[in-house]
Chains A and B, each alone.
Chain A
Amino acid sequence: MHDTTSPQRARRRGGARGRELAPLALTGLRALLGDERRDPQLQGRDRLIEHLHVIQDAQGHLAMAELRALASYMNLPMAAIFETATFYAHFDVVHEDQSPPPAVTVRVCDSLPCRLAGAEALHERLASGADPAAVRVLRAPCMGRCDSAPVAEVGHHHVRYATAEGVEAVVDTGHVHPETILWQRLDDYRAVGGYRLLAACRAGEVGFAALCEAFEHAGLRGLGGAGFPIFRKWQAVRAEPGPRFAVINADEGEPGTFKDRHYLEHAPHRFLEGALVGAWAVEAEALYIYLRDEYPGLHRVLTEAIVELEAEGLVPPGYIVLRRGAGAYICGEESALIESLEGKPGKPRHRPPFVAQRGLFGRPTLVNNVETVYWVPRIWEQGADWFAAQGRHGRQGLRSFSVSGRVARPGVHLAPAGITLAELLEEYCGGMAEGHRPAGYLPGGASGGILPASKADIPLDFDTLQEHGCFIGSAAIIVLSDQDDLRTVATNLLAFFADESCGQCTPCRVGTEKMLALLERDEWDVEQLERLARVMGDASICGLGQAAPNPVTSLLRDFRGELEARHLIAKG
């Protein structure tokens, strides 16, 4: 007799708690991801986002049963999986009480350049015309194609100069794959001298000291936004004890920026050579490339280019690791990018320690922007003197300006550092777009503040805009005209930051939302806005929250008259 020792109720209470693993769910997952029992690397935490992509691509969303199975597959707590899956905009986590999204997703870019080009009306027309059971129409941040605004994305296919009819036609034909890119293959690049610098470095013909000296002389600075001299970063990382890593920041998310896409599409191997030289310079164990998910066509290009390199024996298999972002601007910030590479939500880390000291997997890490390393072989080829001799108004080097907005010829314009907006407009952009008169411009994307047209003659470069309360950042120039409404500009930018805030720190998580609400009011409370701007600028953890109030402080500084005329602030 043993019937009374363990009552049914008590036994159940002692059993496993929480969501149960559905039978067969693991089997299904292994069919998609591979068998983690044979290849334990598949269980690495840093694979989490890649796995989520595979499931999302296969199923169109992330269902609870799959996520629960993934927790077992990766031996991770459910909470950890959920934190990462819900952080990124390109993952659709679907609960039992929700319905999965329809088969087709249309994303309409609504960052500032596209907004100026009519994205709002486009979104409205598409949303009202679509059958919600078959198509969903979402708003999305800058897709890095602002020179052909407005832009929409059907599945993974980007539609430039988008019209409602054009997008609907793409939806009807079911063309959801990335557009084809014609690129310079390995053979072609080698035929014009490609990979000679890398070979020379590896053969000992070019030493580390000589490399640093050359790039110090050339004056090549980080082009991701901060402008840190590349040779100093190499030296700092190399001085730390190994193992070390090299990471390429191809997350290009600053609204108005599309230069990295430009170089990746035109010269992927020159970029890869520069990246590999950097990895060589810091003796990196591996080279990671973090590519934003908005560039699916480039994902194919880079995958193939890496295959070419491996096949030719130029890199050991697996040395270059290509990773996909998942729709989060903040992952362009280097420490958030590293968190994301590790499979976590992209929340920036505190400094110190700097990523050069403790970065990827806790190891010293070199993080460089795409364009920065693109210049390494090119400058070596053409000579440090040549690069150093470029520049205007006392500045040195070349800058790739991504110009968008109300200009006749938007696009990536390679121009001397220190050029003024007036010169850039006249010499490179064919002047203003027809019927538009300049009213102001954003010198550094959404983050760099706004300058009035009266300041069209100041040199554009690192260090030259601080005194005007702005910065050049990634050199994304968005030109505004007399037809643009300043409240729309301000709310558009703040809505972007509030949507993209990682949510870690109070001044940014709450501050961006409150600032947006203050800007949406009929009348602006200048005192509150200015105080909030100081708190965000002083107390946010990273550059996103610190720079988010820039457009507002700029407007309150240099556009008082316009704001008064618009009745946003009281005359005074």
Chain B
Amino acid sequence: MSDSSSNDSFTLTLDGAEVSARPGETLWQVARRAGETIPHLCFKDAPGYRSDGNCRACMVEIEGERVLAASCIREAAPGMVVKSAGSERAREAREGVMELLLADQPEREASPDRSSHLWAIADRLAIDAGAVRRRLPSRAEREAPTVRHVAARSAALPHADGHDATHSAMNVNLDACIECGLCVRACREVQGNDVIGLAHRGAAAKIVFDFDDPMGESTCVACGECVQACPTGALMPATLIDEAGRGDSAVADRTVDSICPYCGVGCQLTYHVKDEQILFVEGRNGPSNQGRLCVKGRFGFDYPNHPARLTRPLIRREGVPKGMDPGFDPANP
């Protein structure tokens, strides 16, 4: 553990080169400053997100240690000798972890987000998901339940099998979930809403809302933070998902940085726009919001294209047409 009384930077060795680090910095951050972005899934490099070190995609080798270490959570220490890009063991572990996860992912074309962070990492490590599936057994290959104390739930439920479209703004497809827990941290720690949990254990581990209730009937306040954090598309803005459950977060043709038009907090955000329609919104790291949004800034974006929207100023002058939408009924807006 680093001594908090000293703020002096120190040196360690990363892939043979001497690098400097500050107390409290993780090996991932050190590598990043040295120019290497280590593959990562459960770690989100954004304000408020604690490292959880669970996916094991970011392993590095530390001299003198029996097993590999997760770079996203292991703090650098003076004199440490770390191998990342130069470690054969770390390479095998990173790829092995990705293979284990990809073996049970939906086909890329059928997945809820074919441009997800997960697929980007798979591309970076040049992993052929089809070949992985031929080598590794799928989850369905075993008939007996792997975790025995989980009782099956009714197939008639609106969120059966982890497919949940009960929320008007967000879509859940747990086929793509890798149990990285980013949504749990988003909801619990970043936003303080405490709706999402990671329930059960082992292979039965499952993202749940409240008591495994449909999202639309849960205590969710629709801040959308979990959707923004999810690296796989298991949680997606409903606007991006088609009837077959497929989607693509890179479908926008341009992005527009802006500020939320609703209240005075001034949350910074980015609109993703296609064919002059806003598709979805992402929080941007501004001083007042640090990437977070509330339901209005996140999902209240249908008004720009509403037919009743005023697009020209109304002038109080005799004879000038007021331009009010002829179909507008003030009694029933």
Contact = CB atoms under 8 A, between A and B. Distances in A.
Say if A and B assemble together.
yes
Interface stretch (A23-31, A174-182, A345-353, A467-475): A345-353
B178 interface: yes
Given A17-B220, A82-B197, A513-B139, A503 B211 contact: no
A352 B203 CA distance: 26
A536 to B, nearest CB: 8
Interface in B148-166: 148-151, 153-154, 156-157
Interface stretch (A224-232, A302-310, A444-452, A516-524): A516-524
A509 B203 contact: yes
Interface stretch (A50-58, A270-278, A375-383, A539-547): A539-547
B148 A138 contact: yes
A77 B195 CA distance: 7
Interface stretch (A83-91, A197-205, A435-443, A557-565): A83-91
Interface string A495-517: 10011111111110111111011
Contacts of B197: 77-80, 82-83
Nearest to B154: A97
A41 interface: no
Interface stretch (B14-22, B93-101, B270-278, B299-307): B93-101
Contacts of A426: none
Contacts of B149: 89, 138, 327
Nearest to B207: A79
Contact of A510 (B92, B101, B141): B101
A514 B203 CA distance: 10
A513 B203 contact: yes
* Candidate in A19, A94, A505 with the most chain B CB atoms within 10 angstroms: A505
A506 B100 contact: yes
A535 B92 contact: yes
Given A501-B203, A504-B54, A505-B56, A546 B67 contact: yes
B53 A18 contact: no
A97 B219 contact: no
B153 A98 contact: yes
A516 B142 contact: yes
Contact of A83 (B54, B198, B221): B198
B201 A18 contact: no
A418 interface: no
A367 B209 CA distance: 35
Of B70, B153, B202, most A-chain CB atoms within 10 Å: B202
B205 A507 contact: no
Contact of B208 (A79, A506, A518): A79
A95 B153 contact: yes
Please classify how large the interface on chain A is, using the bins under 10, 10 to 19, 20 to 34, 35 or more.
Answer: 35 or more
Interface string A117-152: 000000000000000000000110000000000000
A513 B142 contact: yes
A339 B151 CA distance: 25
Given A78-B211, A507-B100, A502 B201 contact: yes
Residue of B89, B92, B101, B149 contacting most chain A CB atoms (<10 Å): B149
A507 B196 contact: no
A501 B194 CA distance: 25
A531 interface: yes
Contacts of A510: 100-101, 103-104, 203
Nearest to B180: A506
A534 interface: yes
Given A87-B200, A353-B1, A506-B56, A499 B210 contact: no
A221 B179 CA distance: 37
Contacts of A498: 146-147, 202-203
Given A82-B208, A82-B212, A498-B203, A531 B96 contact: yes
A77 B194 contact: yes
A347 B209 CA distance: 20
Contacts of A79: 188, 194-197, 199, 208-210
A323 B103 CA distance: 40
Given A500-B202, A502-B202, A531 B92 contact: yes
A347 B107 CA distance: 31
A499 B202 contact: yes
A17 B96 contact: no
A528 interface: yes
Given A499-B147, A509-B202, A538 B139 contact: no
A571 B144 CA distance: 30
Contacts of A328: 201
22 contacts: A67-B211, A77-B188, A78-B197, A79-B209, A83-B197, A83-B208, A86-B150, A89-B149, A345-B201, A352-B75, A503-B201, A505-B54, A506-B56, A506-B100, A507-B100, A509-B203, A516-B146, A525-B135, A539-B59, A539-B93, A540-B67, A541-B56
Interface of A: 17-19, 64, 67-68, 77-83, 86-87, 89, 92-95, 97-98, 138-139, 327-328, 330, 345, 350, 352-353, 357, 495, 498-507, 509-514, 516-518, 520-521, 525, 528, 531-532, 534-535, 537-541, 546
Given A86-B150, A501-B203, 13 more contacts: A18-B219, A19-B213, A77-B188, A86-B200, A138-B149, A350-B73, A352-B75, A498-B202, A503-B205, A509-B202, A509-B203, A512-B202, A539-B56
